[in-house]
Amino acid sequence: MDFVKFNDLAHPELMKYQNDILYASAQANIPSCLLAAIVWRETGGQNILQIGVLPGPGAGVGLTQITAGVDWSDINDPKYHGYHLMQPADNLYVAANYFIKGLVQSAEDAETNNSAAFQRSCRGELIFAVACGYNAGWGAVIDAMSEGVDADTKTTNGYGADVFAKYLTLVNDSHNNP
Protein backbone atom coordinates (compact mmCIF):
# COMPACT_ATOMS: atom_id res chain seq x y z
CA MET A 1 0.00 0.00 0.00
CA ASP A 2 1.21 3.45 -0.91
CA PHE A 3 0.44 6.23 1.59
CA VAL A 4 1.29 9.12 -0.75
CA LYS A 5 -0.93 12.13 -0.03
CA PHE A 6 -3.84 12.19 -2.49
CA ASN A 7 -3.13 15.14 -4.78
CA ASP A 8 -4.29 14.47 -8.32
CA LEU A 9 -4.87 17.69 -10.23
CA ALA A 10 -6.24 15.73 -13.19
CA HIS A 11 -9.35 14.93 -11.13
CA PRO A 12 -10.89 18.19 -9.91
CA GLU A 13 -14.16 16.41 -9.09
CA LEU A 14 -12.26 14.46 -6.42
CA MET A 15 -9.85 17.24 -5.44
CA LYS A 16 -12.69 19.38 -4.09
CA TYR A 17 -12.86 16.79 -1.27
CA GLN A 18 -9.09 16.48 -0.85
CA ASN A 19 -8.93 17.82 2.71
CA ASP A 20 -11.78 15.59 3.88
CA ILE A 21 -10.25 12.56 2.11
CA LEU A 22 -6.87 13.22 3.70
CA TYR A 23 -8.38 13.71 7.16
CA ALA A 24 -10.60 10.61 7.06
CA SER A 25 -7.78 8.47 5.68
CA ALA A 26 -5.33 9.67 8.31
CA GLN A 27 -7.82 8.90 11.08
CA ALA A 28 -8.28 5.36 9.74
CA ASN A 29 -4.60 4.91 8.79
CA ILE A 30 -5.52 3.89 5.25
CA PRO A 31 -4.11 5.18 1.94
CA SER A 32 -5.86 8.38 0.92
CA CYS A 33 -5.67 7.36 -2.74
CA LEU A 34 -7.69 4.24 -1.87
CA LEU A 35 -10.51 6.31 -0.38
CA ALA A 36 -10.37 8.67 -3.37
CA ALA A 37 -10.48 5.70 -5.78
CA ILE A 38 -13.62 4.38 -4.07
CA VAL A 39 -15.27 7.81 -4.38
CA TRP A 40 -14.23 7.92 -8.04
CA ARG A 41 -15.79 4.51 -8.71
CA GLU A 42 -18.92 5.00 -6.62
CA THR A 43 -20.03 8.50 -7.63
CA GLY A 44 -17.31 10.21 -9.62
CA GLY A 45 -17.23 12.83 -6.87
CA GLN A 46 -20.98 13.47 -6.74
CA ASN A 47 -22.55 13.65 -3.29
CA ILE A 48 -25.76 11.82 -4.16
CA LEU A 49 -28.24 9.16 -3.18
CA GLN A 50 -28.00 6.06 -5.32
CA ILE A 51 -29.41 6.72 -8.77
CA GLY A 52 -32.45 4.61 -9.63
CA VAL A 53 -33.07 3.47 -6.05
CA LEU A 54 -35.67 4.97 -3.73
CA PRO A 55 -34.17 6.53 -0.59
CA GLY A 56 -34.32 3.97 2.19
CA PRO A 57 -32.77 0.67 3.22
CA GLY A 58 -30.45 -0.66 0.53
CA ALA A 59 -29.90 2.69 -1.18
CA GLY A 60 -26.34 3.98 -1.40
CA VAL A 61 -25.67 7.28 0.36
CA GLY A 62 -23.23 10.04 -0.44
CA LEU A 63 -19.78 10.10 -2.01
CA THR A 64 -18.95 6.52 -1.03
CA GLN A 65 -22.48 5.08 -1.46
CA ILE A 66 -22.75 3.59 2.03
CA THR A 67 -25.59 1.06 2.31
CA ALA A 68 -24.88 -1.11 5.35
CA GLY A 69 -26.18 -0.02 8.73
CA VAL A 70 -27.72 3.24 7.53
CA ASP A 71 -30.30 4.80 9.86
CA TRP A 72 -33.13 5.97 7.61
CA SER A 73 -35.40 7.22 10.42
CA ASP A 74 -35.15 10.67 8.80
CA ILE A 75 -35.36 9.96 5.07
CA ASN A 76 -33.89 13.41 4.35
CA ASP A 77 -30.89 12.89 6.65
CA PRO A 78 -29.61 9.31 6.56
CA LYS A 79 -27.09 8.64 9.33
CA TYR A 80 -24.56 6.07 10.44
CA HIS A 81 -23.84 6.05 14.18
CA GLY A 82 -24.90 9.70 14.33
CA TYR A 83 -22.78 10.78 11.34
CA HIS A 84 -24.74 12.62 8.64
CA LEU A 85 -24.00 10.63 5.49
CA MET A 86 -24.98 13.37 3.06
CA GLN A 87 -22.30 15.61 4.55
CA PRO A 88 -19.13 14.78 2.58
CA ALA A 89 -16.75 14.93 5.57
CA ASP A 90 -18.97 12.60 7.60
CA ASN A 91 -19.50 10.23 4.69
CA LEU A 92 -15.78 9.94 4.01
CA TYR A 93 -15.02 9.49 7.70
CA VAL A 94 -17.56 6.67 8.03
CA ALA A 95 -16.37 4.89 4.89
CA ALA A 96 -12.72 5.09 5.97
CA ASN A 97 -13.08 4.33 9.67
CA TYR A 98 -16.07 1.99 9.84
CA PHE A 99 -15.63 0.03 6.62
CA ILE A 100 -12.29 0.37 4.80
CA LYS A 101 -10.09 0.21 7.91
CA GLY A 102 -11.54 -3.16 8.89
CA LEU A 103 -11.30 -4.44 5.33
CA VAL A 104 -7.59 -3.54 5.23
CA GLN A 105 -7.06 -5.52 8.44
CA SER A 106 -9.03 -8.48 7.07
CA ALA A 107 -7.02 -8.42 3.84
CA GLU A 108 -3.72 -8.27 5.74
CA ASP A 109 -4.84 -11.20 7.91
CA ALA A 110 -5.88 -13.22 4.85
CA GLU A 111 -2.56 -12.54 3.13
CA THR A 112 -0.70 -13.70 6.24
CA ASN A 113 -2.85 -16.66 7.24
CA ASN A 114 -3.86 -18.04 3.85
CA SER A 115 -1.24 -16.76 1.46
CA ALA A 116 -1.86 -19.19 -1.41
CA ALA A 117 -5.61 -18.55 -1.50
CA PHE A 118 -5.03 -14.81 -1.14
CA GLN A 119 -2.58 -14.80 -4.06
CA ARG A 120 -4.99 -16.78 -6.23
CA SER A 121 -8.24 -14.96 -5.40
CA CYS A 122 -7.01 -11.47 -4.58
CA ARG A 123 -4.26 -11.26 -7.19
CA GLY A 124 -1.81 -10.86 -4.32
CA GLU A 125 -2.95 -7.25 -3.88
CA LEU A 126 -4.31 -5.82 -0.63
CA ILE A 127 -6.01 -2.89 -2.37
CA PHE A 128 -7.77 -5.23 -4.80
CA ALA A 129 -8.97 -7.40 -1.90
CA VAL A 130 -10.22 -4.33 0.02
CA ALA A 131 -12.05 -3.04 -3.06
CA CYS A 132 -13.78 -6.38 -3.58
CA GLY A 133 -14.75 -6.42 0.09
CA TYR A 134 -16.07 -2.87 -0.05
CA ASN A 135 -18.38 -3.78 -2.91
CA ALA A 136 -19.44 -7.32 -2.06
CA GLY A 137 -18.61 -7.67 1.66
CA TRP A 138 -15.64 -9.46 3.18
CA GLY A 139 -17.64 -12.70 3.28
CA ALA A 140 -17.68 -12.72 -0.52
CA VAL A 141 -13.88 -12.42 -0.58
CA ILE A 142 -13.62 -15.33 1.87
CA ASP A 143 -15.99 -17.34 -0.33
CA ALA A 144 -13.85 -16.61 -3.39
CA MET A 145 -10.74 -17.73 -1.52
CA SER A 146 -12.49 -20.92 -0.39
CA GLU A 147 -13.68 -21.62 -3.92
CA GLY A 148 -10.33 -20.78 -5.50
CA VAL A 149 -11.84 -18.15 -7.80
CA ASP A 150 -11.00 -14.52 -8.47
CA ALA A 151 -12.69 -12.32 -5.86
CA ASP A 152 -13.88 -9.97 -8.59
CA THR A 153 -16.32 -12.68 -9.71
CA LYS A 154 -18.27 -11.79 -6.56
CA THR A 155 -18.41 -8.03 -7.24
CA THR A 156 -20.47 -5.75 -9.44
CA ASN A 157 -19.02 -5.24 -12.92
CA GLY A 158 -15.34 -5.80 -12.14
CA TYR A 159 -15.41 -3.46 -9.15
CA GLY A 160 -12.16 -4.73 -7.61
CA ALA A 161 -10.08 -4.38 -10.76
CA ASP A 162 -11.59 -0.97 -11.54
CA VAL A 163 -10.92 0.48 -8.08
CA PHE A 164 -7.41 -1.00 -8.10
CA ALA A 165 -6.68 0.63 -11.49
CA LYS A 166 -8.10 3.95 -10.28
CA TYR A 167 -6.00 3.69 -7.10
CA LEU A 168 -2.84 3.14 -9.16
CA THR A 169 -3.68 6.15 -11.34
CA LEU A 170 -4.24 8.36 -8.30
CA VAL A 171 -1.04 7.13 -6.63
CA ASN A 172 1.04 7.76 -9.74
CA ASP A 173 -0.47 11.19 -10.35
CA SER A 174 -0.11 12.13 -6.66
CA HIS A 175 3.56 11.23 -6.69
CA ASN A 176 3.95 13.61 -9.64
CA ASN A 177 2.11 16.43 -7.78
CA PRO A 178 3.84 16.61 -4.38
Q: Number of helices and strands (H, E) in the chain?
A: 9, 2
Quote the pLDDT of residue 173: 97
Domains in the chain, start-ordered, CATH in brackets? 12-175 (1.10.530.10)
Quote the pLDDT of residue 131: 98
Amino acid symbol at 76: N
Structure-derived torsion over alpha carbons of residues 25, 102, 118, 146, reported in degrees to the nearest 10: -150
Quote the pLDDT of residue 178: 75
Rounded distance, CA 170 to CA 1, Å? 13
pLDDT tens for the chain, 178 residues: list them.
999 999 999 999 999 999 999 999 999 999 999 999 999 999 999 999 999 999 999 999 999 999 999 999 999 999 999 999 999 999 999 999 999 999 999 999 999 999 999 999 999 999 999 999 999 999 999 999 999 999 999 999 999 999 999 999 999 999 999 7
Query: Coil, strand or helix: which one is 1?
Result: coil
Rounded distance, CA 34 to CA 22, Å? 11
Q: Please, which residues bridge with residue 79 across strands?
A: 71, 84
Quote the pLDDT of residue 54: 94
Q: How many CB atoms lie within 10 A of CB 134?
A: 24
CB–CB of 160/131 below 8 Å? yes
